[in-house]
């Protein structure tokens, strides 16, 4: 690991410089919940977080971390009642070659219903009916541990059918699209604006033996995807609040067209804002689920609400 800077009173001079090409790990000595901190921080540049007793580890690419990062982190911590100098902050510069070792030491196999997610170096005996995905952590792209990912994996295995075509927006590691295929969906497409994420997702797809039923492309989730060959029946969007708002009109067009929307990446208190914006487009929340302060929402078009209950 490269040099570490610690400070009780971070200043702009303490911030990791932009364009370093490495990874930045910021350790916050606090008993706060990592998910709540991420939600308040609302920084799309954060690519990972990990919770340990009395410490939260946050990760940024070196070229997306600068003075504004400190200011946003300060504001989020203050908003959550963590006043300086309650705990020291540590900045660790992680060269690319050290990144996987730093992240992967934290990852253990996990079961989410009938879905087992494991790194390649950890073997798991599958129970009857279970399926598995091998996900080796790379650059903090989703390994399934975050509460929002777990919510959507649980929900997907309840609703997916052999006739379903899955669109996974903000796919990251591709984990939700791959889970849907493991559960029997006919096709899945993953879209992410980050080419590094798509590169990693394609490696995972190859590692897990997926064929042409899975496509992974670079694109903007706020823009409607082409429907000439792929019209989704289920849209999975595990995004942040702002992206769900920015992509709201496009997502609602899918719902009006008959697709089921499963949305996550939201804290409980952000639900009302999302509901109001989507309702203005004729799409309504039918069901909600919660885990660790985060929520997932099922949203459908007005016609799907007829004969059923939409909030």
Calculate the average pLDDT of the chain. Answer: 81
311 found inside a domain: no
Residues 176 and 232 placed together within one structural domain of the fold = yes
Instruction: Retrieve residue 46's tokens.
Output: 């954060």
**Which DSSP letter does residue 290 get?**
E
Residues 118 and 193 placed together within one structural domain of the fold = yes
Residues 190 and 272 placed together within one structural domain of the fold = yes
Omega within 30 of 0 (cis) for the link into 154: no
User: Collapsing DSSP states into helix, strand and coil, what is residue 90?
Assistant: strand
Read off the pLDDT band of 84 (50, 70, 90).
low
Each residue of 191-239: pLDDT tens digit? Answer: 998 887 888 899 999 999 999 999 999 988 777 665 556 799 999 999 8
Mean pLDDT over residues 171-179, rounded? 93
Higher per-residue confidence, 1 vs 205: 205
The answer to whether residues 289 and 295 touch, using CB atoms and an 8 Å cutoff, is yes
Q: Can you give the C-alpha Rg of the chain in angstroms?
A: 20
261 found inside a domain: yes
Mean pLDDT over residues 250-268, rounded? 94
The last residue of a domain, from among 51, 73, 104: 104
In whole angstroms, give the CA distance from residue 311 to residue 305.
9
- pTM for the full predicted model: 0.73
Q: What is the CATH number of the domain that holds 269?
A: 3.40.50.150
Residues 269 and 125 placed together within one structural domain of the fold = yes
The domain tally of the chain equals 2
User: Collapsing DSSP states into helix, strand and coil, what is residue 165?
Assistant: strand
pLDDT of residue 29: 84
Instruction: Retrieve residue 37's tokens.
Output: 């901190």
Q: Residue 97 sits in which domain range?
A: 4-104
């Amino acid at each position: 690991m490269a040099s570490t800077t610690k400070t009780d009173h971070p200043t702009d001079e303490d911030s990791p410089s932009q364009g370093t090409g490495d990874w930045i790990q910021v350790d916050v000595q606090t008993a706060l919940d990592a998910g709540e901190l991420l939600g308040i921080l609302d920084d799309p540049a954060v690519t990972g977080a990990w919770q340990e007793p009395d410490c939260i580890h946050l990760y940024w690419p070196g070229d997306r971390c600068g003075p504004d990062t400190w200011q946003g982190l300060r504001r989020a911590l203050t908003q959550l009642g963590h006043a300086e100098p309650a705990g020291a902050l540590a900045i660790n510069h992680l060269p690319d070659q050290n990144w996987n070792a730093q992240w992967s030491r934290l990852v253990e196999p996990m079961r989410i219903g009938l879905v087992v997610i494991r790194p390649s170096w950890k073997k798991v005996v599958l129970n009857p009916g279970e399926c598995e995905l091998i996900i080796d952590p790379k650059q903090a792209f989703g390994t399934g541990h975050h509460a929002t990912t777990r919510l959507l994996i649980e929900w997907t295995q309840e609703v997916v059918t052999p006739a379903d075509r899955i669109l996974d927006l903000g796919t990251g590691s591709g984990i939700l699209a791959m889970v849907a295929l493991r559960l029997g969906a006919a096709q899945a497409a993953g879209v992410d604006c980050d080419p590094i994420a798509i590169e990693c997702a394609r490696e995972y797809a190859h590692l897990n033996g997926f064929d042409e039923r899975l496509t992974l492309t670079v694109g903007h989730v706020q823009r409607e995807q082409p429907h000439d060959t792929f019209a989704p029946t289920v849209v999975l969007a595990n995004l942040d609040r702002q992206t769900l708002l920015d992509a709201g009109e496009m997502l609602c067009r899918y719902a009006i067209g008959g697709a089921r929307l499963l949305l996550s990446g939201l804290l409980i208190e952000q639900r009302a804002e999302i509901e109001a914006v989507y309702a203005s487009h004729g799409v309504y929340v039918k069901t909600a689920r919660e885990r660790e302060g985060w929520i997932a929402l099922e949203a459908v078009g007005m016609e799907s609400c007829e004969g059923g209950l939409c909030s």
